Structure 1
Amino acid sequence: MDACFDRLHPSVAAFLQELARRGRSARTLKGYGEDLQAFARWLEATAGEPFDPRGVLATDLREYRAFLIARFRPATVNRRLVALRAFFRWLKARGEVPEDPAEGLPLLREARPAPRALTAQELRRLLRAARREGNPLHIALLTLLASAGLRVGEVVALRVQDVQLAPRSGWVMVRGKGEKARRVPLGAEARGALQAYLMTRPEMGSDALFIGRRGPLTASGVWQVVKKYARKAGLGGVHPHMLRHTFATRLLREAGVDLVTVSELLGHESLNTTARYTRPAPEDLEAAVERLAFGSSS
């Protein structure tokens, strides 16, 4: 990497060497170097003079920001601006520039992608892996996460008396964030799984709904159960909150449930939070393009 520094402006090379001493990865150093050199080339072409960090003005950086916005995605723009802000902050700390021209240089707002959810096939594989092993606790836990969209903390806080089951209906009383309670209906699959578990639930002097071999299930225990069956099902990157995402996504996209209802079921305080689930995933965009049909020109 030191040989690469030789091709850079001395101040940029010194900055990268300092990052290297702080243990930053080679990939980070390469990215910062390329981004800073891109700015140096732009400034030289724009100002018509050799790059000198001591002569960079705040107006130069604002113009460069506008140049980037017109050509690149927000994530790329922000990456380059972050490199510049770090570089000039470091120069000012060393006393090499009297003022930091990048101070207050705003980043762009990046649209948050829709939370990742399991496909219907992936969800079936996950639940099937649990059913094959036949542990009633694990089946009930996974089914509840996927069928009611509860947070991990809400699941471990459930008590036996929070669940009401009947042959054709049922619900669970959930204590959400800020101790705000909400009643979440349970479908037939969740009711059946919970009923089967309750028939085998061990008595350990606790009213916690989910009891494992060592006592009430903890948040860590929930993670372990989800990871275990995701691994058995050959699914990577699955975590408990993804089942909450799956619940919301299925309601909105497959069942056509309105945003307000889904927000109530999830315990969201803002509809904007729920609206994230309506954003199309990359595969949705690809499928939309594939549906285009072009007629023959003959």
Structure 2
Amino acid sequence: MGAFHPLIEAFLSDLARAGRSPRTLAGYRKDLADFAAWMEGRYGEAFDPKAVLPEDLRDYRQYLLAVRRAAPATINRRVSALRAFFAFLAARGEIPSNPAARLPGVRQARAAPKALSEAELRRLLREARRSSNPLHRAVILLLAHTGLRASELCALRLSDVALSERKGKVVVRGKGEKVREVPLNAEAREALREWLSVRPAASDDALFVGRRGRLTPSGVWRIVRECARRAGVEAHPHVLRHTFATRLLREAGADLVTVAEILGHESLNTTARYTRPSEADLEAAVERLG
């Protein structure tokens, strides 16, 4: 099947080396497998990425839209996967140019990013505090109280942490090598102190290390997903980032500029997504009419 075409496997391996999460890799694999199966049905022969034309991609997009009646988010995700895959092939010299470069997505109303409810967050944090592993406790509590990306968390060094009795911060190297300082609240400071007291000696100066060395983004995902499973909620590192941002705006009353600075957003438009009502907000508003 096309899902196992060697060029697709090479693309996925390249993403894995770049630190992309297992969930992202599984999504790319599924989306590319669907396109490969569609191409094989269209031409009645084995999928060959090098033979794909811009017309094929446009027809596939129209098929998703008109025949499958796929949601705009699904179509846009698959368009993104195809752009990335063919850009990889073009960069490797497998094809002369990217046939998906100008493939348009589908316009959609942007909802607020998924965030945990107050009850879900309480259950997750309670489960994290009960963990017997100080590394796991520190990772989850730091993500929940700082909104760091998994990659940013893994890039932290011992020298990036400043702790005192009443204050604390971490120096974060975000996208584009931009540096920002993120304050730590009392619970995040306590979790970090506990971790630092038991952190194993290592030649690597990474803040978070284990028996196999520096913690990786995929390792962070596993820690969060396992704790969330035990707590009976659905969460991953980016959900914790969204939850943190939503709480800053709605509960703490922080302004967009402050939240953008803490999260490392270049544009206030990105931060403004968190002010949009969620599906639960809309349902609650309509329910109140009854």
TM superposition score category, shorter chain reference: 0.5 to 0.7
**Cross-structure match for 1:274:** 271
RMSD: 3.3
3-state SS in 1 of match to 2:254: coil
Contact 1:16 1:33 in 2 (8 A): no
**Cross-structure match for 2:167:** 169
- CA 1:173–1:16: 2 relative to 1, 3 Å: closer
- CA 1:239–1:20: 2 relative to 1, 3 Å: farther
2:130 corresponds to which letter in structure 1? Answer: R
1:269 corresponds to which letter in structure 2? Answer: E
Give structure 2 stretches of 5+ with no counterpart: 1-37, 47-59, 80-101
Give me the whole-angstrom Cα distance separating, in 2, the residues matched to 1:284 and 1:35. 30
**Cross-structure match for 1:193:** 191
Contact 2:147 2:242 in 1 (8 A): yes
Q: Pick the aligned partner of 1:134 from 125, 132, 135.
A: 132
- CA 1:105–1:251: 2 relative to 1, 3 Å: closer
1:272 corresponds to which letter in structure 2? Answer: N
Aligned residues: 214
Contact 2:128 2:141 in 1 (8 A): no
Higher relative contact order (CA 8 A, sep 6+): 2
**Cross-structure match for 1:207:** 205
Cα distance, 1:20 vs. partner?
A: 9.1
In the superposition, the TM-score normalised over structure 1's length comes to 0.64
1:292 corresponds to which letter in structure 2? Answer: L
Contact 1:154 1:176 in 2 (8 A): yes
Listed as ranges, the matches of 1:16-95 within 5 Å are 18-19=41-42, 21=44, 32=63, 35=66, 75=72
Query: Residue 112 in 1 paired to residue 110 in 2?
Result: yes
In the superposition, the TM-score normalised over structure 2's length comes to 0.65
Cα distance, 1:113 vs. partner?
A: 1.7
3-state SS in 1 of match to 2:289: coil
Percent same amino acid among aligned pairs? 61
Give structure 1 stretches of 5+ with no counterpart: 1-14, 24-28, 37-73, 83-103, 294-298
- CA 1:258–1:214: 2 relative to 1, 3 Å: same
Deviation per CA, 1:198-236, whole angstroms, max 9, x where unpaired? Answer: 111110122100111221111111111011111111223
- CA 1:140–1:106: 2 relative to 1, 3 Å: closer
1:222 corresponds to which letter in structure 2? Answer: V
3-state SS in 1 of match to 2:266: coil
Give me the whole-angstrom Cα distance separating, in 1, the residues matched to 2:226 and 2:72. 34
3-state SS in 2 of match to 1:248: helix
**Cross-structure match for 1:225:** 223
